[in-house]
Amino acid sequence: MKVNGFLKDVLGASRVTKTRRDLIASGSEKNIYFDPIREVAKELHPEKTEVKVVKVEDVSPTARKFTFEAKEGYKLPPFQAGQYVSLDLQIGETLTTRPYSISSAPFEARTGEHPFFEITVRNGRPGIGFASSWIYANVKEGDEFTAHLPFGQFYYEPLRDAKNVVALAGGSGITPFYSMAKEIEHGTLDMNLTILYGSVSTKDIILEKQIKAIKCDKVRFINVISGDEEYEGEKGFLTAEIIKKYSAEDTTYFVCGPLPMYNFVAGELKKLNVPARRIRMEVFGAPMNVREAEGYPENAEPATWNLTVLRGIDKTVIKASSLESLAVAMERAGIPNNTRCRSGACGYCRCELLSGDVFVPSVGDGRRWADKKFGFYHACSTYPLSDLEIRIIIK
């Protein structure tokens, strides 16, 4: 069986042999059941990775790229182009987590003297994206973080996806496609990638210089500008007409950007009769205003409710706003409850609803059928409509 670059380091026989040899030499081998599959799982999915910032670079007037290396005693796990990292953040009195697509290529985390990964963060507008704004304004070289990676299913799979991929990006949604483009150029990802990147102005195109520096005939980059009348290239939005222009007969579409762009692009792909199996959409976080989400009760006014949280034998009653998710309410109260995607997809913040009424946006409801049947919810995508009582798993 041929092993690709993604798994080469963690499946190396020398590492497994050395570990077993060490156990034998110490006399402990007879008392310890050595499971090589478990060892590989630990390499692929470590509980945490302590990292430090080694470089900060502006990549547009409103975006910065942050480079991380593993601290001594830790190793960066392998990931695939398009996956994301979750960072633990202490912002004032709030301890929270935020997911960010990895914008560097997978090969850069497993080769060279200083393996690294990067994220690219855009400065949020006032009142929106407070974590991204905090990172943009405050994080500097030498700062240390706890990271959790890799996560996400937003990557190319040749058994499922067409050889030709059209990436539809908006805003900071360009970041996973930069990772894919670099991996293609390196020769460790075999696909044809056309990036259609929607921006308002030619003066603020994230990672444009870096993407245009990629020299590979399998990668094309096309800007689509909506607000610059003097621009001579593709103008307007990512319409069905533009998408069709750059599509092959058999194409898979990857979509990453803000929620309004998702909704618009979904309609345009529907006009082209693109089957659902050929559309891949990245998770996009909580809605800016949950009251505007489809299906939200029309008579539900903004309110603050009592949220009773059970953890083992501990019971805590906190306040929860109807406009914020249960995960946010618990973070504000200092109650630990792991979150990773913050989009209702991964299930790390899973909790059991014991009493009360809640709302879950259909777009962010990634629960399995059994969870829906037996009353389990993802706290990051669940909003209170009354006083609630929930049970969370102690971690």
Q: Backbone phi, then psi, for 81, in 5-degree steps? A: -60, 120
Residue 352 pLDDT > 80? yes
Report the distance separating Cα 355 and Cα 352, nearest Å.
9
Average pLDDT over residues 105-130: 85
pLDDT score for 19: 54
Q: What is the pLDDT of residues 179-206, one digit of tens each?
A: 999 999 999 999 999 999 999 999 999 9
pLDDT score for 129: 66
Least trusted range by pLDDT, from 24-33, 53-62, 150-159, 262-271? 24-33
| R_g of the chain, CA atoms, integer Å | 22
Average pLDDT over residues 93-103: 89
Cβ–Cβ under 8 Å, residues 298 and 57 = no
pLDDT score for 395: 59
Residue 29 pLDDT > 70? no
Name 218's Cβ contacts closer than 8 Å, sequence gap at least 6. Answer: 184, 191, 192, 193
What mean pLDDT value characterizes the chain? 88
* Domains of the chain with CATH codes: 5-44 (no CATH), 49-151 (2.40.30.10), 164-281 (3.40.50.80), 295-392 (3.10.20.30)
pLDDT score for 26: 59
Average pLDDT over residues 209-226: 96
Token representation of residue 327: 């995960």
32: confidence class by pLDDT, cuts 50, 70, 90: low
- Confidence (pTM): 0.83
